[in-house]
Amino acid sequence: MSRAFILLLDSFGLGALPDADKYGDTGANTLGHIAKWAADAGKPMSLPTLETIGLGAAAHKASGEWPAGFAKRDGFTGAWGVARERSTGKDTQSGHWEIAGVPVLFDWGYFPKTVPTFPQELTDKLAGITNVPGWLGNCHASGTTIITELGDEHVATAKPIIYTSADSVMQIAAHEEHFGLERLYQVCEAAYELVKPYNIGRVIARPFTGSNGNYKRTSNRHDYAVPPVAPTLLDHVKDAGFEVIALGKISDIFAGQGVTQLIKGADNMALFDRLLEVTDTAPDKSLTFVNFVDFDMHFGHRRDVAGYANALHELDARLPDFIGKLKEGDLVVITADHGCDPTWAGSDHTREHIPMLFFGPAAPARELPVSDTFSDIGATLAHHLGVKPTANGTALL
């Protein structure tokens, strides 16, 4: 067996990049600030499996500091390092595509921090096509806050809630029963076509349920994403005739390009269950790519430090089961797509190093030099699987 696995902890950054000042992120450090918060609260973090692979040393390499409560040790079991982003954005698509060999060197379009944020030409056209009676929101917002504020008015008027963030996104929230899930998807499909001239990466359907000021998003989120601009590692694996198994939102992020099997999961732990099943059955030369989204969606953007720390503990506790299922020749990497420091101002991502923790039967134990592109991950896995090399990046192992 010679399989590859990418376990991506969405937003798990290890400290600001040298160019973080351009993003207002100088000093951001997702893991470092969570660990400090936990130690200050008298409950230091303990991530024994990740630490054994080399997480603490990688964090030290990225930021110059060992996370509070982590042992300053050596003798790791994995090939550990960190990578810097070459893409100009600090968004999910740029991070994932770059890992898969395609840095995003053009600038995405973004909507301004004005109210309204969306150009009137766009919202008028979209209302005309979809027959909605108007829009609510039309601003930069946190998705959970805005449905609490505007949910009642949405239910009363049937006007969808539209909002954006520092990412290249148009998000459309609507009530699953009152407005209808299928209708929301139709509005998003129409929006996806209309935002093309604005160079927007994704339109995201954000359905919710509930009543009387008490609203909750459902798992029926759907992303309408621009496909990768060049062939990625996923395409190379698929084109070689091997399986590409996408868990969670991976397929959405790559617009389905290069994916042969798509498996969804409601949350991190459900996704981990699916990962264990896949690890039992995935064939030789397959690539399994999982995105653990809760870190970003529930805790990073929500600036919930305790929740983020807890989610890390939960994931670490399950890693031994996964490692126990690996077969000879398997290579795994634990990584991230950007930071989202839950102690940082605002609610957006932070420009940070990502971890590169390679482990499994095919991984040597060694320190890796700092990579100047996330694409070194894709290059390493392409080499491991013996498929066409990615257009960017250097194989590290």
Ligand X SMILES: O=P(O)(O)O[C@H]1O[C@H](CO)[C@@H](O)[C@H]1O
d(CA 47, CA 68): 12
Please enumerate in sequence order all residues whose Cβ is within 8 A of that of 168, keeping only pairs 6 or more positions apart, or say none: 89, 91, 93, 108, 109, 110, 199, 200, 201, 202
Written as six digits, the tokens of 121 are: 């030409």
Written as six digits, the tokens of 320 are: 């031994």
Name the binding residues.
10, 296, 301, 337-338, 349
Binding positions for Mn ion, 337-366, rule CB under 5 A: 337
Please enumerate in sequence order all residues whose Cβ is within 8 A of that of 291, keeping only pairs 6 or more positions apart, or say none: 8, 10, 96, 247, 248, 249, 250, 253, 271, 337
- Please state whether beta strands 331-335 and 354-359 pair in parallel, antiparallel, or not at all (unpaired): antiparallel
- Please state whether beta strands 161-164 and 287-292 pair in parallel, antiparallel, or not at all (unpaired): unpaired
- Total residues binding ligand X (CB under 6 A): 10
93 binds, among ligand X, Mn ion, none (CB under 5 to 8 A by kind): none
Query: Tokens 């139709």 — which residue?
Result: 186
Nearer to Mn ion, 11 or 52 (CB): 11
Residue nearest to Mn ion (CB): 92
Query: Tokens 């994932």 — which residue?
Result: 96
Interacting stretch for Mn ion, rule CB under 5 A, among 7-15, 25-33, 195-203, 238-246? 7-15
Distance in Å, CB of 221 to ligand X, minimum: 9
Residues 258-297: x where in contact with Mn ion by CB under 5 A, - otherwise, as a string = --------------------------------------x-
Nearer to ligand X, 35 or 172 (CB): 172
Query: Tokens 């100047």 — which residue?
Result: 372
Name the binding residues for Mn(2+).
10, 296, 301, 337-338, 349
- Give yes or no for residue 142 binding ligand X (CB under 6 A): yes
Residue nearest to ligand X (CB): 143
Distance in Å, CB of 308 to ligand X, minimum: 14
Q: Out of 51, 85, 98, 167, which residue is the one contacting ligand X (CB under 6 A)?
A: 167
Binding positions for Mn ion, 89-108, rule CB under 5 A: 92
Distance in Å, CB of 207 to ligand X, minimum: 12
Q: Out of 169, 259, 354, 385, which residue is the one contacting ligand X (CB under 6 A)?
A: 169
Nearer to ligand X, 62 or 297 (CB): 297
- Give yes or no for residue 92 binding ligand X (CB under 6 A): yes
Interacting stretch for ligand X, rule CB under 6 A, among 62-70, 166-174, 313-321, 383-391? 166-174
- Give yes or no for residue 51 binding Mn ion (CB under 5 A): no
Written as six digits, the tokens of 12 are: 């798990």
Interacting stretch for ligand X, rule CB under 6 A, among 38-46, 112-120, 167-175, 326-334? 167-175
Buried b (16+ CB within 10 A) or exposed e, 334-357: bbbbbbbbbbbeebbbbbbbbbbb
d(CA 131, CA 328): 57
Q: Out of 297, 326, 362, 363, which residue is the one contacting ligand X (CB under 6 A)?
A: 297
Distance in Å, CB of 182 to Mn ion, minimum: 26
Residues 194-233: x where in contact with ligand X by CB under 6 A, - otherwise, as a string = ----------x-----------------------------
Buried b (16+ CB within 10 A) or exposed e, 234-266: bbbbbeeebbbbbbbbbbbbbbebbbeeebebe
Q: How is the beta sheet containing 366-367 ordered, strand by strand?
A: 261-263, 244-247, 287-292, 4-9, 331-335, 354-359, 79-83, 366-367
SS3 349: coil
- Give yes or no for residue 392 binding ligand X (CB under 6 A): no
- Give yes or no for residue 165 binding ligand X (CB under 6 A): yes
The answer to whether 78 touches 68, Cβ cutoff 8 Å, is no
Return the ∠ at Cα 15 (arms to 83 and 71), rounded to 5°.
95
Q: Which of 391, 387, 309, 396 is nearest to 357 (CA)?
A: 396
- Give yes or no for residue 10 binding Mn ion (CB under 5 A): yes
- Give yes or no for residue 186 binding ligand X (CB under 6 A): no
Distance in Å, CB of 269 to Mn ion, minimum: 19
Residue 40, amino acid: D
16 binds, among ligand X, Mn ion, none (CB under 5 to 8 A by kind): none
- Contacting residues toward ligand X, per CB under 6 A: 92, 142-143, 165, 167, 169, 171, 204, 297, 301
Q: Which residues bind Mn ion (CB under 5 A)?
A: 10, 92, 296, 337
